[in-house]
Chains A and B, each alone.
Chain A
């Protein structure tokens, strides 16, 4: 082959390597960007007066006199709408039957859509479900609901052999010639006076319980549940892992038995996570009966089993990285082997052990399959510390799956889904970042 071709091949080989890395970086950005952007929308968004009313009534948050003045102003802006609706209803009731037949269904639908947008009509009995007690709390959803009030989705199914085509028909056409015609332009032009949108920072999304199947409120029970499960897993795995690492590095002599032990540890690392979940159910709950139902305890034990190999490996590496001089100096001063380990080697290896355990914490926080059968529920109150032994808990990882698939109104709570994903991914990435920084500091210290 000529030299130019070989050089060309060389350049393209380098190019392919760089392309691979660029693709990985692009994949990372494509994965994280929607999560961060839309997840931030759960905390930073434009909220309406309904949101502030909810905060005031449920949590007593906000400047009461100012909010009440706002609510009054909003009510004043809405009054013409309700007046027009009431007038029309009276008209229908006293009018002739043909008119009633013509307008009854569109009117009922219109009333329903307005209630979804603005909340229950004043004077009507209080609805049972919280989601019907308030209008739209987010301005972006309010815009969507407003267009549903102003326009009707009509599907043109005239040709049954082709897919239907959607037309947006303005509702004014349904009420042409009646007193209700003026409602729609009024609504359109005054919606901001009726809902008073304002940019809000809802920090309490992270600390509030959820209300009415995550329609309102925050994700605190899930965050707390993930916290309990992760800490619990570490409490079980860390002592066991450190002791195992100490034994493997200091006490064990290379024998067949130790080789089998090491193979077992690496096998444990390769077991699929769903098998851990099955084992947790079959062993911890059904056989050992650590709790009568699902519980945080069983879930933490299952997760601990899953992260044990990583902790052992990290601890082993950390202990091996401690210079032999430390141990030899301790032994020469007459310290027993156990004493030397406890007071000299472990403290020196601690930063490395912590790094490995922080990465394992990230793994435990993000895993779902082990806790499906052992600890996770869809709805529950945030647990008190003494309840973790017997009660199950919602968790970020499980509830992301639950809200994304099982929820009855997935499009209404998109911001909550993305918010949960954002919190979980941020938590895991922060833990890993902390581990990376710790590792950089340790290597600097050990080098110089």
Chain B
């Protein structure tokens, strides 16, 4: 019995000791579900070339990414919106210096079910739908079907961008259903004939994006900034990554030709 206890303690101390040695070969990414596909593809590409590095990715929302970066719980904060002043102030108050890296361009596509005959809406009409003024598709010239409005949770950068570019600070109706990720909006809209939602460019498969103010959401219109609801995608780090570290290579992957091809393959628009 005594030997057993002594043995367990010894193992625990050893394990703790090894663990205390700084884990230089891990990169923790946390944040936006929009940036998720890019982050996952980058991580896989990088880990393929460097098998000793472990890159873990959480997709809990842009707000969470900022918070984790400030708390020191992650190395890279993926965000689909810029950091707010309150977040930057909070970071400075604990000695964290958030450095912004723009890695891609994205457009928020407003999507409906494939059976919905609607071709396009104006931002004003979208605003009315989301504030609850319009509740049936027939008021927009469509079929007699109640509108199932789907939006993102409040910790989402996509939500914040949508709110500031389309909602113009008006409040979303109470009856809106909230889901936690781009993928979830896509799935709900794909399976519900009366639904409407908004997703990033990479999530347009299987649903019908409609024109906003007459302009379609495609990589082309986003790249040329014609599309009205376009936005950059960010990765934030604490301080500038040192050249030669895995973190540096990962962040700057978006500037290399391979990285650009990856971004295009996932459906987003690479930046120059």
Contacts and interface: CB of A to CB of B under 8 A. Distances in A.
Nearest to A235: B8
Given A128-B45, A293-B74, A408-B182, A389 B15 contact: yes
A386 B73 contact: no
Contacts of A83: none
Interface string B234-260: 000000000000000000000000100
Given A129-B262, A386-B19, A391-B23, A377 B57 contact: yes
Interface stretch (B94-102, B111-119, B165-173, B213-221): B111-119
A121 interface: no
B18 interface: yes
A342 B1 contact: yes
B56 A391 contact: yes
A405 B142 contact: no
B37 A408 contact: yes
B54 A381 contact: yes
Contacts of A213: 37, 40-41, 44
Contacts of A383: 54
A405 B59 CA distance: 11
Contacts of B58: 294, 376-378, 392
A153 B116 CA distance: 14
A364 B114 CA distance: 41
Contacts of B179: 405
A328 interface: no
Interface stretch (B83-91, B127-135, B201-209, B222-230): B201-209
A405 B181 contact: yes
B123 interface: no
A406 B115 contact: no
B114 A129 contact: no
A292 interface: yes
A132 B41 CA distance: 12
Interface string B14-58: 011011000100101000010011001101110100000011111
A278 interface: no
A390 B23 contact: yes
B57 A408 contact: no
Main SS of chain A's interface residues?
Answer: loop
B173 to A, nearest CB: 22
A157 B36 contact: no
B115 A129 contact: no
Interface stretch (A36-44, A160-168, A265-273, A306-314): A160-168
A407 to B, nearest CB: 5
Given A128-B265, A129-B262, A391 B26 contact: yes
Nearest to B74: A293
A212 B37 CA distance: 9
Nearest to B64: A373
Contacts of A377: 28, 56-58
Contacts of B36: 378, 406, 408
A293 B193 contact: no
A103 interface: no
Interface in B105-148: 114-119, 138, 141-145
Interface string A144-172: 00000000010101011111111000000
B187 interface: yes
A402 interface: yes
A379 B183 contact: no
Nearest to A297: B19
Contact of B68 (A129, A211, A293): A293
B7 interface: no
A127 interface: yes
A406 B180 contact: yes
A402 B138 contact: no
Contacts of B144: 161
Contacts of B186: 408, 410
B205 A128 contact: no
Nearest to B264: A128
A406 B15 contact: no
Is the interface on chain B under 10, 10 to 19, 20 to 34, or 35 or more residues?
Answer: 35 or more
Contacts of A405: 179-181, 183-184, 187
Contacts of A153: 114
A378 B141 contact: no
B261 interface: yes
B154 interface: no
A393 B55 CA distance: 10
Given A386-B19, A408-B37, A163 B206 contact: no
Nearest to B206: A411
B73 A294 contact: yes
Contact of A406 (B56, B184, B206): B184
A166 B114 contact: yes
**Which residue, of A211, A405, A409, has the highest number of chain B Cβ atoms within 10 A?**
A405
A130 interface: yes
A195 interface: no
A128 B262 contact: yes
B164 interface: no
Contacts of A165: 115
B266 interface: yes
A163 B45 CA distance: 43
Interface in A395-418: 402, 405-411
Contacts of B117: 155, 157, 159-160, 162-164
Contacts of A387: 19, 23, 26, 54
A407 B183 contact: yes
Given A378-B40, A406-B180, 8 more contacts: A128-B262, A160-B118, A160-B141, A165-B115, A389-B19, A390-B19, A390-B26, A407-B183
13 contacts: A128-B258, A161-B138, A162-B143, A163-B116, A163-B117, A377-B58, A378-B59, A379-B56, A385-B15, A386-B15, A390-B23, A406-B180, A408-B37
Interface of B: 1, 15-16, 18-19, 23, 26, 28, 33, 36-37, 40-41, 43-45, 47, 54-59, 68, 71-74, 114-119, 138, 141-145, 179-184, 186-187, 190, 193, 202-203, 205-206, 258, 261-262, 265-266
Interface of A: 127-130, 132, 153, 155, 157, 159-166, 211-213, 285-286, 292-294, 342, 376-381, 383, 385-387, 389-393, 402, 405-411
The 7 closest A-B pairs by CB, nearest first: A389-B19, A157-B117, A380-B56, A406-B181, A379-B57, A293-B73, A405-B184
